[in-house]
Amino acid sequence: MRKLGKTRRKTDCPKGRITFAAARQNGDSMRIITGKARNIPLKTLEGDDTRPTSERVKEAVFSMLQFEIEGRRVLDLFAGSGQLGLEALSRGASHATFIDNSRAASDIITGNAKKAGLFELCRVSASDYASALRGNAGRESYDIVFIDPPYDSMLVPNALRLLVSGKMLAPHSVVVCESRCASAPKRKKRSEESEQAEIYSGVFGEDDSLASAFDIRKSSAYGITRITLLEPKMQNG
């Protein structure tokens, strides 16, 4: 495994995501945090096969991206309720593409986008992520990409490979990856090398060639969730 330097900056799986009960009350507990659609409530899928990104994690993500959103084109993979892409649109992104293989998820995204007054800036695709990305190869590029699949699915590295091979990452783009990490008590007992191994495995799946295509801008843990921001080296000059 290639040693990493110090870090600088949803239903597309046979097994479902972990459900956080606190993230859902009658299917209408999430909200857009700020921007032109501030405080608009968002619906999420019912049942135990979704893992909505918590508001704490979402706030952290957009704090990292706060000066990079205006006018940008966004891709939200494994989109679930669409809350990440919609938050970006509310904060000034110019367009967002949402991909989730669940028809129910696509309907939820469409409804949330209309409720927030952002639907004209959206494209919603009820499609398998791999088929959608292969079909889009060479046709469109994105400035901000959210990859938030079910934990332990190893879909993050697969999605990254398709984005790179399809030349879908715009110059100076950033990819936001969400993956599982060890609990806080366990992290306190680990070495820096173990921490880096967790980042590497969760994002690149032990693929050295894939890792060599990206710089890690930042990686931070929130509970059992790790957020890692990547910059493609091929776009960095």
Across the range 20-36, mean pLDDT stands at 62
pLDDT of 165 over the 90 cut: yes
Q: How does residue 91 score in pLDDT terms, banded at 50, 70 and 90?
A: very high
Other CB atoms within a 10 A radius of the CB of residue 41 amount to: 14
- CA–CA distance, 171 with 169 (Å, rounded to integer): 7
| Lowest-confidence region among 30-34, 81-85, 197-201 | 197-201
At residue 50 the predicted structure's pLDDT band, cuts being 50, 70 and 90, is: low
> Structural domains in the chain?
21-191 (3.40.50.150)
Per-residue pLDDT band at 89 (split at 50, 70, 90):
very high
pTM here is 0.84
Tens-digit pLDDT profile for residues 172-220: 999 999 988 866 556 566 677 887 888 888 899 989 999 999 999 999 9
Ranges 8-22, 96-110, 151-165: which has the least confidence? 8-22
What's the pLDDT at 203? 93
Alpha carbon distances (Å) from 44 to 51, 57, 112, 173: 9, 16, 9, 28
Q: Percentage of the chain with pLDDT > 70?
A: 80
Binning pLDDT at 50, 70 and 90, where does residue 93 land? very high
Q: Are 23 and 54 a contacting pair, CB within 8 Å?
A: yes
Mean pLDDT of the chain: 84
